[in-house]
Structure 1
Amino acid sequence: MQTKPLGKSDLTLSEVGLGCWQLGGDFGPISADTVAEIVDTALAEGITFFDTADVYGGGESERYLGEHLGNRDPKPVIATKYGRGDGSYPDGYSLTHMRDSVKRAQDRLKTDALDLLQLHCVPTEVVRRGEIFDWLRTIQQEGHIRYFGASVETVEEGLICAEHDDLTSLQVIFNIFRQKLLDELLPRAEDKNIGVIVRLPLASGMLSGKFTEKTQFAESDHRNFNRDGDAFNVGETFAGIPFETGVKLVRELEKKVPEGYTMAQMAMRWLLDQPAVTSIIPGASSAQQVRENAAVSGLKPLPDELHEELYDFYQHQVQQHIRGAY
């Protein structure tokens, strides 16, 4: 497993991390034994970066990570988030509310200071006003957090956040289906030495190549209830592409997969080839998925010609289908 420094911080992340949304049960029921197997396998595969949020399973994802990783030595890096919980989104933000939320996260994660606190897709106008960054600095100075970053939904939000010189990281939706970030945001992050954490590297599993038009998801799975953005930003589900359209596009992409790679491995290797990317955080519903994801770190970079083909594919066959804020 290769590692990279996160921006200007002293944190070092495995370039393949583990997205922990599903550990809270938000993708459908998940047993404690399965959760334990997923996390143990991640550690065995050299994954040292875990990304969660206070709202994943109402705090269950954080709580589990705290119980399972809190006493590890060396301790993995755990990033969490603030900004989508009850009482905050969309207009209940305050220093007091943030501090109280962070203290609860500290308790669940069993830590004196959070490694990385990320704003969790707060509204654009809140990011633009900027006072929320002053609150982050205050709780950092108080010792509750070591570093802060922002998880954003759009290029515009990312660029606004990047104006703050002490921003450690940006978490973004970025994959073969959503390449707009290559034009301005990722070069800006590189220029300012801001770490880039990629969520939804497989577009909610679409880029795994395992879905068909008949695939069904659990009632509580966002891939079932948020296909059209009924619950939150549609870009968080299948990268904002209609499900049936995405399945057809993946069939075309499969023709480009190099020998020795799976569809999912090509999609994730494409991300790791981007110089601005620090770590990708695919989720996993089984230990086998964790192993397959982790193996991508050891694969050779994709040929330049394939990168050009995939950008052309995005421009001419994909981008017109993307819906929602981008």
Structure 2
Amino acid sequence: MNYRKLGKTNFNISEISLGTWQVGGKWGSGFDDKTADELLNTAIDNGVNFIDTADVYENGLSETAVGRVVRSRSERIFVATKCGRQINPHVNEGYTPKVLQKFVEDSLKRTGLETLDLIQLHCPPTEVYYRPEIFELFDKLKDQGKIQNLGVSVEKVEEALKAIEYPNVTTVQIIFNLFRQRPSELFFSEAKKKDIGIIARVPLASGLLTGKFDSKTTFETQDHRNFNRNGEAFDKGETFSGIDYELGLQAVEALKALFPETENLAPIALQWILSFDEISCIIPGASKNNHVLSNLSVYDSPQLTSEQISEMNKIYEKLIKPAVHQLW
């Protein structure tokens, strides 16, 4: 495992870390504590020391599992969670310091931790980023010892750029992968100037970049890849990075032609992300142990050459960029 600094938090974290949206479940189709514990322990056994969760993942069960496993380990494991998505309807007016403070205190109870290493606003409406009182709350929570750092998880580059104007924002979690390249244009350089940690989420475009899906692949009813392709439940950019599924498959076929000997494209897609020095870590999810090991097999693959990276980018430029680049 290789480690990188998480911006001005100064945490030294595993560049391949773990997202827990589907740990112990399968996109909302039931939670299994045993599976969650196995996945989390496998990740930590292999050098992962940064785990990202949220209060809404499996209605708090993900946070509970993360806290249980972290407390059982002797290693220093950094825990990041998120708050805000419980607000229903999820609108700007629902965001108040009082409501958010309660969410943070509930996360502390569920995890059983004395303090949260990183709390992140969970993709709030754009208007929230223009309300200083929301960000000021987290200075108070830090003074109280309830949190160590504040970050944001965003949908849009605009939101990321606004968030890092607040001096207490230390990290930004953003969708970034071979099929979602816009953040690297302006945001990365601005984040670097302010020593902001960048956490890349949805790194495999909801599994599309593993190369294991085709036009006949079906997804379970509760799986967002089945019900949210057009943003029916939440921002469509969270599902296949907002790309039309068939177009995505076309781009994946071009990738396969570029790497004809490679059965699993996931390590190649992760390597592409790691080629950016501005990235602090990647948080691929996992619902099975072999998913964790697949993500970590990035270290078993030959290093991508500059020529290969250039050819990968050409696939994006030709097939994906015209459809999605300016949307987020």
Q: TM-score, with normalisation over the residues of structure 2? A: 0.94
- CA shift, 1:305, in A, is 1.6
> Does the Cα contact within 8 Å between 2:180 and 2:325 map onto a contact in 1?
no
Question: Do structure 1's residue 278 and structure 2's residue 280 form an aligned pair?
Answer: yes
Q: Distance in 2 between matches of 1:55 and 1:143?
A: 23
Going from structure 1 to structure 2, the CA distance change for 1:242 and 1:171 (only over 3 Å counts) comes to: same
Q: 1:184 is matched with which residue: 181, 186, 189?
A: 186
Question: Do structure 1's residue 195 and structure 2's residue 197 form an aligned pair?
Answer: yes
RMSD: 1.8
**Runs (5+) with no aligned partner, structure 1:** none
Q: What are the equivalent positions in structure 2 for 1:121-270 lying under 5 Å apart?
A: 121-257=123-259, 262-270=264-272
1:57-94 alpha-carbon deviations (Å, 9 max, x no partner): 11110011112222322231110001111357312111
Going from structure 1 to structure 2, the CA distance change for 1:17 and 1:55 (only over 3 Å counts) comes to: same
Going from structure 1 to structure 2, the CA distance change for 1:243 and 1:68 (only over 3 Å counts) comes to: same
- CA shift, 1:257, in A, is 2.5
Going from structure 1 to structure 2, the CA distance change for 1:192 and 1:261 (only over 3 Å counts) comes to: farther
Paired position in structure 2 for 1:34: 35
> Does the Cα contact within 8 Å between 2:54 and 2:63 map onto a contact in 1?
yes
**Runs (5+) with no aligned partner, structure 2:** none
- CA shift, 1:323, in A, is 8.3
Q: What are the equivalent positions in structure 2 for 1:8-87 lying under 5 Å apart?
A: 8-23=8-23, 25=25, 27=27, 28-87=29-88
> Does the Cα contact within 8 Å between 2:247 and 2:319 map onto a contact in 1?
no
% same residue? 40
Corresponding letter in the other structure for 1:17 = S
Q: Distance in 2 between matches of 1:264 and 1:71?
A: 30
Going from structure 1 to structure 2, the CA distance change for 1:258 and 1:118 (only over 3 Å counts) comes to: farther
Going from structure 1 to structure 2, the CA distance change for 1:62 and 1:88 (only over 3 Å counts) comes to: farther
- CA shift, 1:298, in A, is 5.5
1:80-130 alpha-carbon deviations (Å, 9 max, x no partner): 001111357312111111111101000111111101001110111110233
Q: Distance in 2 between matches of 1:40 and 1:71?
A: 10
Going from structure 1 to structure 2, the CA distance change for 1:267 and 1:5 (only over 3 Å counts) comes to: same
Q: TM-score, with normalisation over the residues of structure 1? A: 0.95
Q: Distance in 2 between matches of 1:61 and 1:252?
A: 36
Q: Distance in 1 between matches of 2:22 and 2:49?
A: 18
